[in-house]
Structure formats: C-alpha cells, structure tokens
Amino acid sequence: MADDSEDVGPIEVPDAPPPPPPLDPEVIAQAEKAKEEANANFKAKHFTASIAGYTRAIDLNPNNAIYWANRAAANIKLENYGAAVADAEKSTEIDPKYIKGYYRRGDAHFALGKYKLALKDLRTAAKVAPRDPDLRRKLAECEKEVKRLRFEEALAVPDEEVMSTLEKLDLAIYDIIEDSYTGPRMAGSPAEGYTITAEFVEAMIAEFKAQKTIHKRFAFEIIKQAHTLFKSLPSLVDVTIPDDKHFTVCGDVHGQFYDLLNIWELNGRPSTENPYLFNGDFVDRGSFSCEVIFALLAYKLLFPEHMHLTRGNHESKSMNKVYGFDGEVKAKYNGTMVDCFRELFCALPLSYCLNGRVLVLHGGLFSNDGVTLDDLRKVDRFREPPEEGIMCDALWADPSPLPGRTASKRGVGLSFGRDVTRGFLDANGLDLLVRSHEVKEEGYEVEHDGRLITVFSAPNYCDQMGNKGAFVKFNGNDMVPHFTTFSAVPHPDVKPMAYANSYLMGM
C-alpha cells in the first residue's frame, strides 16, 4: 500500500518502564515451556501453532518482550503484518532496548510498503546495535526504497495525465524475430495480426516447462489482447453454469507454475467443457510468475467465456515492486512490460457471481452494511487499489471468528464475522461466498456456518509452509461445493522470492 507518512529521522530510545511485580516461579516456568513449544513449531514451519504457543506464554507472562517479538515474527510469516506491528510495539514498550522488537516492526512496515516507518524503526534499532550486520543490510535497503519513493513522488503526474503504455506501445519494434529464436509462434503475421491457437498455447507451456521464455512480440501481443478483453467486462461478471455442466474455482497460485500445471493434470486443461475461475494472486513470491500469468492469459484468449480471472491484492503496483513480479518481468522480458502488466491488472474484474447464487472475490466483505451486487458492478476498478472502500475490501478483507467488524491482522482492510457474512448474503439473495487470500493447512476451509469458503491453490507456499493446495468444483444443477486437495510437486531449483526485494530475504 502507499506510504504517505511524514519523513522521519532516528528517534531516541525511551527508558524502560518500571519493572512489574514478580511472578510466581511456577508461572514463569509454564510460560517458558509454552515459548519453547512455540519455538519448535516455528522452526518446523507450523506458524499458526507457534502463534498459539506464544499466545499461551503471553497470557501467563505478558511482561516478557521476547514472547511478543517472537509472535510478531510468526505473524510476519503468515503475512499478518498489522498483528505483527502491534506485537512488536508491545515488545518495545516492555523493553525499549530489545532490538528485535524494532526489527520485527520494521519488517512488517516494509512488507506493507511503509518504508519511512520501517526506516524509523531500523534507525532506532541501530542506536542499540550499530554493528549488527543484518541490521546494516536492512537499513541500506530501506534507505534505498525511501529515496526511490521520493524520486517517484517528485516525478508524479496527476492520474488524468498519465498516458497508457499499452496504447502508445509500438509492437513493430519487436516484429523482427531472430533466427536464434526456436520457441512457439502465434498464428498470423505483423501485417495481418496475430491470433492465439491451442497449438501455440501447448507449445508455450512446453517452452516454459523447459525454463525458456517466449518472444517479446508474442508476450506483448498476449497482454494487449487480454487487456482489450478485460476492459470490456464489468467489475462484477455474471456467469451461468448450465445444469449439466461443472465449474472449477481455484485460489492463489502465486507464481507456482509447476503446481498450476498439476492442477490441470488433476482436473483437466481449461476448455469449453471444463471452465475455470482463478481467484487472484497469480503472481509474486513464487519465481515462475511470468509463466503463470502468460498461461492463464493465453487460456483466457483461447476460451474467453470459459476462463475467468479475478484481481487479487498482489495484482498491484505496490505489491509487485516488493514481492518479485516486477523484478522477474524485467529479468525475463523488459521494463516496458512491467508497465503493461500494471494496466492489465487494473482491468481485471473484482468479482464473479455464479448462477446468481455464489459470489467469488479475492479478499472479502465490506466495511459498511448495505453493499449490493450493483454497488460491486459500479466500482471504478481501473486504478491501483485504494486504501479504503469497496475495492480495497474486496481485495484485502478476511473472515474472523469474532462477530461484527474488527481491525485487520494484515494492517490493511478489515476482518468480518459470520453475522456480516449472513447479512450480506441474505440481502443479496446469495447462498455462498467463495474467497481466497489466505494460506490454509488443507488448501481450503469452510467457515461462518458453511456460508463462506476460503480456497488456496499454492501448496507448500513459498516452499516452506507445508500446506496442501485445493480447488473447488460446482455442478450447475445444485451449486454444492466439492473439494479436491493436492500436494506440491517438484520444480526447478529456483527459490521463491528470487526476484523479490532483497530486504525480504531476512524475514
């Protein structure tokens, strides 16, 4: 998200508060045991379990800064950056000289794109540990991002004056295809125009499996044609599934191309008889994001009425700069293509309604009561995501076991309870909400009295979470969800986040 905080320098490290009354040694021992169990779960990458363990330790001994900082670290692993900031702040309140508290808060702020706040935290930590090598590295990276942000702000022009990269793109400069290029070619010619075929798509996927790229001429052609197609769609797309047909919804893929291919091995390739909806977060984190997005877009062009894509929170400029997609596109193609993808992502629909009964969107429900499907249809989505409102909530919100609306553990959007889900679905004549946006141990979870499903399709997320992936299939005659889970498959030795901001390597 955008960072509009004031520029800040280093701050003074406050004095420690008065020590709390001593605890019973037995209580202290129980808290330490809970912490050690949580540490073991953290090392085993069971981050949800580790949060539960640190929470038990905090409940027993709330005045131990280490417990709060450790829980912040686990929340960062689960991308609960808002919760991580709150935990890290508590850690520094308890012990102002405990530098890991500032580290953790700086990490969470950086992950949210709040570089100036991250820099403030890191500078504060540096007053305590000026020689720490990891801290020095993070400080340098954060300072670089703040300078870049200032530079972009200085060059910024009003939105209405921004020129379309896709409209001014001259594809003729890519028309000459070198003799050395042995990859797939689209049907047609520069003079006649290019069209996508099933043969090209299959050859392209084979090329990607061999860790090769397609020619820039065809890559740009796919983006441009897909952008034209998506621009013609409303922000909420209605989809009809005939009684004798089925329909598959997949969640986040996050650049895990070989797991995407496994979905198609298990459930069949997209076709007129086998329609799909991929529910956002196609890119970032995984290091095969280009391959994923080109495969999805190619099938969209091949089967425009039977392949559907929802925008996720990672189809945005701020996320792509940090989590790898920008760097990957520049490494495999060029910087112009980064700007073209930004325009494409701004054209993606925000939601789909299946047979008038099931709403599918990436994040969740809304900050205010009374939002209707017509309100979703009317959203002006052709922009970067705002920090509040219907579009922000559709991309960022999460369900909660608590009633009503509460602060988001992510630091963006909100959390909403089963009463909010029930009220929205009933008011809009819907049976079910399907969303993605969160890692789930089994690849999916059913919540809110069976009326909300989370589906996540990136197994062993970032090669470290150990989760399964899943997809959900509906039959048109009854619209009852049927789940398939699957495990991760091997991929070439390119680590997740290989193209991400180097700051994140230490998180």
DSSP reduced 3-state for 83: helix
The three-point CA angle 413-418-419 to 5° equals 100
Instruction: Report the pLDDT value the prediction gives residue 19, as an integer from 0 to 100.
Output: 74
Instruction: Report the pLDDT value the prediction gives residue 149, as an integer from 0 to 100.
Output: 83
Instruction: Report the pLDDT value the prediction gives residue 1, as an integer from 0 to 100.
Output: 52
DSSP reduced 3-state for 469: strand
Is the model's pLDDT at 16 over the cut of 70?
no
Instruction: Report the pLDDT value the prediction gives residue 2, as an integer from 0 to 100.
Output: 47
Give the confidence band of 15 by pLDDT, cuts at 50, 70, 90: low
List phi, psi (to 5°) of 448.
50, 55
Domains in the chain, CATH or no CATH each: 25-155 (1.25.40.10), 187-492 (3.60.21.10)
What is the per-residue pLDDT across 403-450, written as a single tens digit (0 to 9) for each? 999 999 999 999 999 999 999 999 999 999 999 999 999 999 999 999
Percent above pLDDT 70 for the chain = 95
What is the per-residue pLDDT across 254-277, written as a single tens digit (0 to 9) for each? 999 999 999 999 999 999 999 999
d(CA 270, CA 282): 16
Instruction: Report the pLDDT value the prediction gives residue 393, as an integer from 0 to 100.
Output: 98
Q: Which class for 325: exposed (0-12), middle (13-18), buried (19 or more C-beta within 10 A)?
A: buried
Is the model's pLDDT at 6 over the cut of 70?
no
Give the confidence band of 152 by pLDDT, cuts at 50, 70, 90: confident
How much helix, strand and coil, in percent to the nearest 5, is found in the chain? Answer: 45, 15, 40
Radius of gyration of the chain (CA): 24
For residue 416, give the amino acid letter: F
Q: Which residues are catalytic?
A: 314
What is the per-residue pLDDT across 212-240, written as a single tens digit (0 to 9) for each? 999 999 999 999 999 999 999 999 999 99
Q: 296-309: b or e for each residue (b if 16 or more CB lie within 10 Å)?
A: bbbbbbbbeebbbb
d(CA 15, CA 10): 16
What is the per-residue pLDDT across 275-321, written as a single tens digit (0 to 9) for each? 999 999 999 999 999 999 999 999 999 999 999 999 999 999 999 99
- Over the chain, what is the mean pLDDT? 94
Quote the pTM value: 0.91
Residues contacting 90, CB < 8 A, separation 6+: 65, 68
What is the per-residue pLDDT across 322-377, written as a single tens digit (0 to 9) for each? 999 999 999 999 999 999 999 999 999 999 999 999 999 999 999 999 999 999 99
Is the model's pLDDT at 11 over the cut of 60?
no
Q: What is the DSSP string of 211-232?
A: T----HHHHHHHHHHHHHHHHT
